[in-house]
Amino acid sequence: MSATPKALTWTGFFDKSGSPALKIQISGPFAKAVEFDAILDTGFTGFICMPLLRALPLGLMLYGTTSVELADGSTSMKLTAKGMATVGEEKKVGVVILEPTANDILIGMAFLRTFQKALFVTQNLVFLVDESRTPDQDIAANDSEEEEDSSDLG
């Protein structure tokens, strides 16, 4: 069985509050994956943080607890679970923080690193680009395409 090639670019969107977001599927080992709109939070160092009540139906396996530092500098103990995130054909397992009082699903820096994606946000576009692509490679590719086009002219 051959591996499915990973997508070089994922396209996200802005949610109703203006935060960059991405459609992802989350699943545990014993339940079908469910699609969610997840906010891309670069201030969150973890993989996924989601409301406990939304996580329960997914059959995530409890993993333990962790201490998290909040934006105000305080710390809090949180339950964690192992979960699988899917975007397109790519699937990765990571630690999901289960938040009893949250409403939003967050994906953080560990999510980007695990999937090896770089985040690019413009005024109205959200892209997650494979880390193997660099701007200089794209410029070189465009330059060589332009040279080929000009050589066809004459």
Give pLDDT, residue 74: 92
Give pLDDT, residue 70: 82
Q: What is the mean pLDDT of each run of 10 residues along the chain (154 residues)?
A: 65 96 95 95 96 93 92 92 96 96 96 95 93 63 52 52
Closest CA to 87 of 50, 38, 135: 38
- Strands of the 9-11 sheet, one edge to the other: 9-11, 126-130, 117-121
Give pLDDT, residue 128: 94
- The Cα–Cα gap between 75 and 68 comes to 5
Give pLDDT, residue 31: 86
Give pLDDT, residue 23: 98
Q: Go through the domains of the chain in sequence order and give each one's CATH number.
A: 10-152 (2.40.70.10)
Q: What is the pTM of this model?
A: 0.82
Give pLDDT, residue 147: 54
pLDDT digits (tens, 9 = 90+) for 44-76: 999 999 999 999 999 999 999 999 988 899 999
DSSP string, the chain: -PPPPPPSEEE-EE-TTS-EEEEEEEE-TTS--EEEEEEE-TT--SSEEEEHHHHGGGTPEEEEEEEEE-TTS-EEEEEEEEEEEEETTEEEEEEEEEESS--S-EE-HHHHHHHTEEEEE-SS-EEEEETT--HHHHHHHHHHHHHHHHHHT-
